[in-house]
Amino acid sequence: MTTRSATTSPAASFIIEPQAVKPTKKESLTQLRNVNVLPEPEFAFTTEFGFLPIPRHLRYNPAKPPHFGLLLNIAFAFAATFSELSNFVANLYYCQPLLSAYYGASVWVMYHSRIPTLVQAGYAVGIVLVSPLGDLLRRRQLVLCIVAISTALTIGLALTSNLVVFQVLSFFVGIVSVTPQILVPLAADLASEKRRATAVALVLSGLLLGILMARVLAGVIAEFRSWRVVYYFAIGVQALVLVGSYFMLPDYPSKNSDLTYFKILWTMAKFAVTEPILIQACLINFASSACFSNFWVTLTFLLGGSPYNYSTLVIGLFGLVGMAGVAMGPVLGRGLDKLVPWYGTLASILMLLVTSAVQTGAGGINVAAVVIATFGLDVFTQLLRVSLTTSIFGIAAAARARLNAVSILSIFIGQVMGTSVGTHVFVKFGWRAGAALSMGLFGLQLVFLLIRGPHCQRFTWFGYEGGLEARRSAVQRQPGDGVQDSGEKGKVVVQKNGKRISTVVLPGQDIGRTQDEEKGEVTLKG
């Protein structure tokens, strides 16, 4: 008997197995953490002030430091713009209509100089005492704190009807008006070496843009007298900066946990008298700022008188020409990334001399000369400040907030001098003498620059050691730089920028290097 084996039809034997679904990246990371393969990232801080949570993507992770891309750089620039805009408009330009409305024109005549002076004095105090905190505290927490205080004080200015309270609040508002001076060193810290000048240029462009926008807005306000709008505008803008900083500013650890506040102030004062690069930059910044203030303050007198006789509104709109010049800053900053900063400073001063010559020759004759001078002044003043700031920040990475504070203080003093002396010269001797004053100051800047070459060592005061190479890539690391074998037993050679330094070490021991950020010295240990 033949036994027939059971068979199945093809349809019955064909089994479709379900396809595996590929997990998402988030699910994969979750699974890895569940089996302890991928540990949770360790954040340095998760809250601000002990209660305000930091958004997870902004927390500082040592294993993955924040990436300073173009979007974040633009956010820094906008924060600088709106901070400076609200400070200048709300705290310098609304004094006249406020006092006139509350107390009458006679009181305004008495106090018209006192309140702006208090704001400026507070700003100077803030530069010296608040902005250096960037080298001691976490910058995110510091920015949020001072912007919140500034917003609260501005609300107080808008509500008070007491003149004494108004003056006191004005002084304290000036103290906390230093947000851009904290963001600029932070941008330099976060940016890579190859695009540091571009990053700084973008933030400084935002700062100058805020000043020029304030001038335009001030002209509109002076024309239409709607002074209450300025209060609401300033409070709203500061609140916008506060919210934007909370959601976009990355956390970053403090740089000098071993220093105290008084040590920070002491080293800042020490830098101001012992660093040739910083002192040279401050002298140039002082003269440049005086020229900038001299031009913009006397421009109102020039355009308001014969032969132009423009209205306050039209004069204020000249700030738009300056804003177009400032917009060129980031583009020029990309070029500075390829040059030694000294050459960027040289080109800026030479072009500012040409611009000043145009203003001296025809500023009171043809408005085209004024437009050219306005555009050129803002473009090349921006380029000058970026190149000087880049040079200063190269002195010591751990001290950038203090170095920046000294530099900004020189700019502030220059502004005060330029406003006072420039106005006196213009009123007494006319527009041509005022323009010639700026031209002379630009010539003085050229002298300050040329007494010290582009490649001098850190503590060299005069001379041209190191050559005249202009390309940054050619001088960042010269052949043979670093620790080299001298060929002699027990001796090595340290070479930096072509300069040889020998030191004797014990044979058979490892050689280690330590760097002193404050002194800039490299020490060999064996």
Cβ–Cβ < 8 Å for 339, 194: no
Residue 36's pLDDT band, with cuts at 50, 70 and 90, is very low
Average pLDDT of the chain is 76
Same structural domain for residues 383 and 444? yes
Higher-confidence residue of 93 and 466: namely: 466
Decide if 163 is inside a domain.
Answer: yes
Same structural domain for residues 243 and 363? no
Domain boundary among 410, 436, 464: 464
d(CA 341, CA 240): 35
d(CA 412, CA 179): 15
Decide if 443 is inside a domain.
Answer: yes
Residue 312's pLDDT band, with cuts at 50, 70 and 90, is confident
Give residue 337's pLDDT: 75
Decide if 108 is inside a domain.
Answer: yes
Decide if 139 is inside a domain.
Answer: yes
Residue 88's pLDDT band, with cuts at 50, 70 and 90, is low
Higher-confidence residue of 123 and 193: namely: 123
pLDDT one-digit tens code per residue, 344-402 = 999 999 999 999 999 898 888 888 988 899 898 988 988 899 899 989 988 888 889 99
Count: domains in the chain: 2
Same structural domain for residues 183 and 202? yes
Decide if 4 is inside a domain.
Answer: no
Give residue 237's pLDDT: 84
Give residue 117's pLDDT: 76
Q: Give the structural domain span for 294.
A: 260-464
DSSP-assigned beta bridge partners for residue 499: 496
Same structural domain for residues 251 and 314? no
Same structural domain for residues 280 and 241? no
Burial 375-400 (b: 16+ CB within 10 A, else e): bbbbbbbbbbbbbbbbbbbbbbebbb
Domain boundary among 210, 239, 259: 259
Higher-confidence residue of 100 and 55: namely: 55
Q: How far is CA 516 from the centre of its chain?
A: 25
- Kindly report the CATH number assigned to the domain that includes residue 294: 1.20.1250.20
Q: Out of 74-78, 182-186, 285-289, 458-462, give the one with best mean pLDDT.
A: 285-289
Give residue 284's pLDDT: 95
| DSSP H or E segment with residue 23 | none
Give residue 497's pLDDT: 46
Same structural domain for residues 246 and 299? no
DSSP-assigned beta bridge partners for residue 521: 516
d(CA 422, CA 306): 19
Same structural domain for residues 122 and 271? no
Would you say residue 496 has pLDDT above 60?
A: no
Indicate the range of 72-76, 169-173, 346-350, 514-518 predicted with least confidence. 514-518
Query: Tokens standing for 408?
Result: 């900004």
Would you say residue 208 has pLDDT above 60?
A: yes
Give residue 23's pLDDT: 61
Give residue 97's pLDDT: 45
Q: What value does the mean pLDDT take over residues 289-305? A: 87
Higher-confidence residue of 70 and 484: namely: 70
Give residue 203's pLDDT: 86
Would you say residue 481 has pLDDT above 60?
A: no
Give residue 21's pLDDT: 55
Give residue 277's pLDDT: 93
Domain boundary among 203, 226, 259: 259
Same structural domain for residues 229 and 293? no
pLDDT one-digit tens code per residue, 416-434 = 888 889 888 988 888 899 8
Percentage, residues of the chain above pLDDT 90: 19
Decide if 497 is inside a domain.
Answer: no
d(CA 48, CA 246): 10
Give residue 427's pLDDT: 86
Give residue 514's pLDDT: 42
Decide if 165 is inside a domain.
Answer: yes
Would you say residue 296 has pLDDT above 80?
A: yes
Would you say residue 71 has pLDDT above 80?
A: yes
Would you say residue 336 has pLDDT above 80?
A: no
Same structural domain for residues 172 and 281? no
Same structural domain for residues 330 and 237? no
Q: What value does the mean pLDDT take over residues 202-219? A: 76
Give residue 443's pLDDT: 94
Q: What value does the mean pLDDT take over residues 39-44? A: 53
Give residue 475's pLDDT: 65
d(CA 218, CA 116): 14
Rounded (10°) CA dihedral 150, 155, 158, 160: -100
φ/ψ region of 21 (left if φ > 0, alpha if ψ in -120 to 50, else beta) reads beta
Indicate the range of 61-70, 81-90, 382-391 predicted with least confidence. 81-90
Same structural domain for residues 268 and 313? yes
Same structural domain for residues 328 and 431? yes
Check: pTM over 0.85? Answer yes or no: no
Decide if 26 is inside a domain.
Answer: no
Q: How far is CA 69 from the centre of its chain?
A: 16
Q: DSSP secondary-structure letter at 93?
A: I
